Amino acid sequence: MTQYLLSVHMVEGQPEPSADEMAQMFKDVDLVNEEIKAAGAWVFAGGLHPATTATTVRVRDGEVVTTDGPFAETKEQLGGYYIVEAKDLDEAISVAARIPGARHGSVEVRPIFSMQAPQR
């Protein structure tokens, strides 16, 4: 089963990490990435620029409308994501718990819908 793990790390009102804390977080991310790859669970991952760089796109009455900023007006913002192979939810939670974002924010675990082409 494929799982989609979202790493939420930017929480409004919390102090920003120091340069040393950020450097350690990057080291921790590199370490957990290597662990996930070694376990054969790695599919894909990526970090995102801050929510302030987001542009939200909507189509209303046939017109494209863009808004600066993220779609969700919330205190927590998406910081990055992982896509990993896990046999079940418990295994996905085990992977999520190792992601540094779980210590500094939260990691949401969700299964991905299968979008396989129909058999002909």
Say if 118 falls within a structural domain: no
**pLDDT greater than 70 at residue 67:** yes
DSSP string, 34-84: HHHHHTT-EEEEEE---GGG-EEEEEETTEEEEEES-SS-SSEEEEEEEEE
CATH of the domain at 40: 3.30.70.1060
What single letter denotes the amino acid at residue 40? Answer: G
Q: Residue 95's domain spans which residues? A: 2-111
For 82-104, the pLDDT digits (tens) are 899 998 889 999 999 988 888 87
Query: What mean pLDDT, rounded, does the chain reach?
Result: 82
Say if 117 falls within a structural domain: no
pLDDT band for position 57 (cuts 50, 70, 90): confident
Say if 77 falls within a structural domain: yes
What is the count of structural domains for the chain?
Answer: 1
